[in-house]
Chain A
Amino acid sequence: MDAADRDLLAGTLRKTMDSCTGPRLDAALTEIGWPELLAAEPRDAVAAVFGLLGETGAQAPLLNDVVLAEAGRAIGGTLPLPYAGGSWVVWERTGEGGGLDAELPIRRVDPGDAVPLADGRRALGWWLVGSGRAMLALARAHALDRVQFGRPIASFQAVRHRLAETLVALDGAEATLTADTGDPGSPGHELGALLAKAAAGRAALTAARHCQQVLGGIGFTAEHDLHRHVRRVLVLDGLLGSARDLTREAGALLRPGRPAPRLTQL
């Protein structure tokens, strides 16, 4: 897929995600070719679709498809997915949830079978970075609009540096997602996905903290959109392993005589 194709795809996806969410979005994406795209161009498809789910604030149960496809199974259904703390969840294709992010139909289930998680982790990484960018956009707009002490709060260095720190975290995480760390099936592919999910989870939580602070009181109301993104990244961070769990898992690879894998080569 070249840059023009990607732009075209992003435009179509954004329009669709702006117009519906949940099961309706699931159906609409199937109609515009999500299953075929996932089969033909998995990397580009996942980056575009999940990144835009984050940016638009829409949601759909597509993580099931990514994990099912990597396991070589038919897509369109659901399967038990590991969650932080040894829990397992299922992400239903319809209905509502009762969790922290009530829009997501996610509920606890009994432990399921181990499945490959690299592609699912990358997908969630893109979603988390997209949500982080949505929060940054909200905080940036507020900082430029909101006047205190006779000037926009964006002119205060403390505010500027929080937003700069947020961008650094998000851009760093995106670099781990785009990096080529090895072909599917290789150890670098797995580890690269694990590290990318960890970086994205951390970046999204950093974005939530700084953007909430910059938005001040308005960002604490349910009338403002921020809380939806905050809830979403808190829930998505735990799915398929939290930043905290995955970071510890990566650290366990580092032992005497076992050099840290240098993923991605010039």
Chain B
Amino acid sequence: MTGVAGFRSGLRAWLDRNDLSPGDDGTLDGQVAQLARVRRALYEAGWMRHGWPAEVGGLGGPAVLRAVLGEEVAARGLAEPGIYSMVEVLVPTLISYARPELAAHAVPLLLSGREQWCQGFSEPGSGSDLASLTTRAVPRDDGTWAVTGQKVWTSLAQYAARCVLLTRTAPGHGGITAFFVDMDAPGVTVRPLRTMHGVDEFAEVFLDDVRVPADRMLGRPGDGWRLAMDLLPHERSTCFWHRIAHLYTRLDRLADETPVPDDAALGAAYLALHTVRCRSHATQRRLDAGARLGAETSVDKVLLAGAEQLLFDTARDLLPGVLELSGGPWRPEYLYSRAATIYGGTAEIQRNIIARRLLDLGQE
């Protein structure tokens, strides 16, 4: 892969010359501002446009270039990897489901850091059972749609200009319809959620008779479930690679800071990270070769969540008292790692999928 190697070395040289290190502001406001700054700089220099098609302002090339870019961003700690990686699920959705003119107009706004977007999927009554969602979209005589309902766990909703929103237009899986909604539309209310790790990254979104133009529908009525399923290959290839790169930086930090080097414990955390890195590498190679990713990415998901929690459990063991008694980043990061087996499909849902689809064990 000389193209990839050349991209990486060029990128590294550019990042060495252009310092995008974050400042001292570790608040969520600060993180989001830093994210916008990093995206803007990388977009203007072209790096952020590689791996995206020209129709949406990209420069073309394989998706693996985006994984390489995100790995460098994570390795240098330039942006919080969770929110940095959101483009990886949002942009492919627009490319696949939005009208071409809408995608061409909107995607550059996100990639260049001028806007943040969010994804309105989960609801108070629809978590693991996402297909039971009840936010209603009703067609009106004037050709618009009226949307009413409530979303929850919507990352960055309070900063977002737009939302990829799943709604119900008919019963069943085939009755879910997606819209690209302006967050400043009348009737949209956002309430950030307090979470146990102290960062208000997630929000509740209330939709009260929100009018959405018909040309903001993503795909056709009933395409929403397929849209949600189509996200998984993106989330579980590029995004995972970014997160793994981030977790390696935390393993290094742990080895730097621990006063009680325990080779067995450090080695187990390293082995778990190495394993998911190898698995993720293979997954991206398959994607690059044109394979359609499916249920087997649940294996990647289980490995990643397990590695993340093992790493932070090890950090708590080998930095005694630090996250309990001292400030600093270990405490929120440890607490956030507790969610790794919950978000993006719980560990139990992943095992259900593996049992049903990969092991062919039949119905529960």
Contacts and interface: CB of A to CB of B under 8 A. Distances in A.
Interface of A: 140, 143-144, 152, 154-157, 160-161, 163-165, 167-168, 171-173, 175-176, 178-179, 195, 198-199, 202, 244, 246-260, 262-264, 266
Contacts of B277: 262-264
A263 B348 CA distance: 30
A100 B275 CA distance: 29
Contacts of B64: 266
B279 A249 contact: no
A178 B278 CA distance: 8
Contacts of A156: 364
Given A155-B362, A160-B352, A257-B256, A247 B267 contact: yes
B359 A167 contact: yes
17 contacts: A155-B361, A161-B348, A163-B355, A163-B361, A164-B359, A171-B296, A179-B281, A248-B264, A249-B267, A250-B271, A254-B255, A255-B255, A256-B255, A256-B256, A260-B251, A263-B274, A266-B284
B359 A163 contact: yes
Contact of A157 (B67, B274, B276, B364): B364
Interface residues of B, number: 50
Nearest to B354: A164
B364 A195 contact: no
Given A163-B355, A264-B281, A168 B303 contact: yes
Residue among A160, A172, A253 with the highest chain B CB neighbour number at 10 A: A172
A171 B263 contact: no
Contacts of A250: 267, 270-271
B265 interface: yes
B267 A252 contact: yes
Interface string B264-307: 11111011011111110110100000000000100100110000
Nearest to A251: B267
Contacts of B334: none
A167 B265 contact: no
Given A163-B361, A164-B355, A167-B359, A251 B281 contact: no
B2 interface: no
B241 A266 contact: yes
Nearest to A244: B264
A115 to B, nearest CB: 23
Given A168-B299, A266-B4, A258 B281 contact: no
A157 B353 CA distance: 11
B68 interface: yes
A240 B217 CA distance: 60
Given A152-B362, A167-B359, A264-B277, A254 B270 contact: yes
Contact of B364 (A140, A160, A165, A262): A160
Given A154-B361, A167-B299, A251 B251 contact: no
B355 A160 contact: yes
B252 A259 contact: yes
Contacts of A179: 278, 281-282
B275 A172 contact: yes
Contact of B275 (A157, A176, A251, A260): A176
Contacts of B67: 266
A257 B253 CA distance: 9
Contacts of B71: 266
A198 B303 contact: no
Given A179-B281, A248-B264, A264-B281, A254 B251 contact: yes
B273 A247 contact: no
Contact of B278 (A161, A163, A249, A264): A264
A247 B314 CA distance: 14
B274 A176 contact: yes
Given A161-B351, A165-B351, A249-B267, A195 B362 contact: no
B363 to A, nearest CB: 6
Contacts of A248: 263-264, 267
Nearest to A136: B359
A243 B88 CA distance: 36
A121 B268 CA distance: 18
A209 B281 CA distance: 28
A144 B261 CA distance: 46
